[in-house]
Structure 1
């Protein structure tokens, strides 16, 4: 409905809001049954390419916000005093500014050198109690004996709040990046700005507020023995003490949120609508699988383009695609280019304790998929590359789709927090968006984005896994089978 001719299957050219409520007729129209659609001009959407650009935009947007700032991230690094001071300055300079922060409770309360996300943010509540709210989501899957016995860091494998959404007034930035020094300097991720998108910003702000309302609220300590206190709203069950009731309540609220937005169409801006944004969520603990359903349908549509196969780039810092995704990919008639972290670019490389075995575990999973590709005889259509850049780690995730084997510029991308993996599908709270466009500037920017990521990659072959440093211990192979959904 919104896009001009794309690979001989077109959206009609649209210029008025009245036409925008009509049903689209293009090849990706079936995807609209899974998500609301926000129409805009692609010039309002811009990917960033470097961690330093992400950090600069984050700080400048916080300081320039007039009405609202909303942040959802796994955690805020214990040393990010500059970022907290930026929030403090924005609150001080603008008494009307409202700030909502949502982070994960397990990760956000884990202390290092006496500091955690919670203690770092607490002074903002003390100084600006009427302007800022900080919520900390706790998974309902960590309860009872498991809650009491699993140590910090290990307990995070049970489930996390993994959304990465950064909103400022009527603009929003989607990413896979968290808020710590490495993500601002030498940890490669993806970042996409949606400017002047009031309705889309409201969608994500409402989602953040829904999850926040169902989370613990960070507050000042009740007694001198505490560093802070965590409270839950009276109308919400405690996720640890009443996990079943909590799961029902949150699931119902999320279903209502999805239904209230389902198949809605929004028009943003005064220019021609040449781009559509379809936001989706995946929240396994609450039986929400919107993102997975849309992604699988996208692969189904790609499989029907056998006369002119698509090229699909897929990337994840952690190679652990679900069995359903792998099965669909292996049978889909398309050219797939996978990009993942090399062991050296994995954030757990050379870490201490059990986590040092994670890079070999991902190598084992990657090798098993490579064997499946060879068995299916699809080596010429499905390739795997590894990001390897001295001094850098890799955390990017998402998809780029070019409609046709000879079309180099992507016409669609998926951007957000999921890794397309087991834990993204089953354990964590995730959000991303499908962007479909025929805007030439945006398509060229997407082409540049994926090209820059592949610039530091090496093609995987059988010889890759024959190297001495790629030998996976038998114990890791066995353990991987048991903990695959936690990776």
Structure 2
């Protein structure tokens, strides 16, 4: 089927949409985003998260892994007061990145660096090296300027802790935040800090040049760091005073962590700055082990708003919104799937093909993960067919030679608008793990700024450019046959995928 490139469509309609966007932009500057159509529908979301008004020019999407790495190093070297980093891990071979941080520290005695990684992933060794041993050198050289926090899930304890080997134990729960802060700029992403994420592993990366939002995320890392192990220069782990041990005192640890997270949420609750702007950012967190479900509540509320808009325009599907939703791992929760199947909106899913899955051709049990995700994807596709929603819900797979796919998030196009007006960016995959086991952070961005809308359009269009539509024939191919054992296992352990 011939498909006219989205970039060409946008180019032909560009003068029309630029004029429309300029008029909207002027209106927004006078009245504030939530007073305009249809953004007023989203005002109730302020009850679920703080809001940070901005101008669209303060927000900058990046598109390539090389852009991400270049920006990281540039921002690190230019930082004067603070660098804070949250990632699942730092690759054992990333000495250049650590040396960049060391160089920044050598330039300024005022610079404070806080790095938050996962304890299980960060202590996994390869050739006797780990994230912990790599970062310990910074603690040794700059003990008064560097803090390294390592979160350990309280759900890995007792017999599980003693018996589950490395890699398998990480399935129980992880610190999955991807936040990169430098002075008054913060970048939200889904990318970790290793060579593939800097070269050929596609993810998302959005910069926010705003001191208030940056302070919010620095506060978040401080809170999580307060109930995480602290790394020492001799690669030992200690706990902050008055913090329960997550392994030996799991219940008390959960109680303490929940109290601190609720205090953090309450600190920012009701923060809805009245400063006029054409863009609003609503940050949310999801930390299932502690009963914190901000992200899930906001995402479901967003889908409910899209549904109500579709109901109001049920006679004309052309007036329904279009939602692009992506995850490198197709394993949406049952609640998300039911909402999506019943929502009166058009959905365009984008996920990794088996070849673009980071576990493709890996060793050991992990080599069965791509077929497990294929099985879950096929189940959902059959639900779409059964509901006769093929025209409204499509699935595409990212397939790019020698590349893997790790992007996650969503974009919302209002009716008959070619550019997105909303996006969600951060670490969650919309799956069972993100909902129940891991620590996640995400932000909803709503904008009337035509330049930012065009940048978001470019972001999602580039991802779809490397994708192929999934059909019934896709799952009939020989290489898509899923072994019976994998099907059984996927159904049993889907909350760990």
Quickly name the TM-score band, shorter chain normalised.
Answer: over 0.9
Contact 1:11 1:26 in 2 (8 A): no
Task: Show the 5 A alignment for 1:123-202.
Answer: 123-195=137-209, 197-202=210-215
Q: Deviations over 1:369-395 (max 9, x none)?
A: 000000001000000000000000000
Structure 2 residue aligned with 1:229: 236
Mark the CA change 1:23 to 1:337 in structure 2 (over 3 Å): closer, same or farther: closer
Q: Deviations over 1:406-452 (max 9, x none)?
A: 21100000000000000000000000000000000000000000000
Correspondence 1:390 to 2:401: yes
Task: Show the 5 A alignment for 1:9-20.
Answer: 13-15=28-30
C-alpha distance in 2 between matches for 1:373 and 1:417? 26
Structure 1 residue aligned with 2:64: 50
Structure 1 residue aligned with 2:474: 464
TM-score w.r.t. the length of structure 2 is 0.92
Deviation at 1:355, TM superposition (A): 0.2
Secondary structure of 2:28's partner? coil
Contact 2:33 2:278 in 1 (8 A): no
Secondary structure of 1:419's partner? coil
C-alpha distance in 2 between matches for 1:461 and 1:89? 51
Contact 1:20 1:267 in 2 (8 A): no
C-alpha distance in 2 between matches for 1:169 and 1:181? 25
Secondary structure of 1:207's partner? helix
Q: Deviations over 1:1-40 (max 9, x none)?
A: xxx999x999963459xx7999997111111110000000
C-alpha distance in 1 between matches for 2:180 and 2:284? 16
Structure 1 residue aligned with 2:367: 356
C-alpha distance in 1 between matches for 2:131 and 2:107? 23
C-alpha distance in 2 between matches for 1:5 and 1:304? 25
Bigger mean CA deviation after superposition, 381-390 or 24-33:
24-33
C-alpha distance in 2 between matches for 1:150 and 1:410? 44
Structure 1 residue aligned with 2:107: 93
Residues matched between the structures, number: 470
Deviation at 1:300, TM superposition (A): 0.3
Secondary structure of 2:309's partner? coil
Displaced runs of 4+ in structure 1, greater than 4 A? 8-12, 19-25
Correspondence 1:277 to 2:295: no
> What CA RMSD, in Å, does the superposition of the two structures yield over aligned residues?
2.0
TM-score w.r.t. the length of structure 1 is 0.94
Hey, which of these two has a bigger chunk of helix by percent?
2
Task: Show the 5 A alignment for 1:344-423.
Answer: 344-404=355-415, 406-423=416-433
1:212 pairs with one of 201, 225, 229: 225
Extract unaligned runs of 5+ from structure 2: 1-18, 314-318
C-alpha distance in 2 between matches for 1:261 and 1:12? 28
Bigger mean CA deviation after superposition, 250-259 or 350-359:
250-259
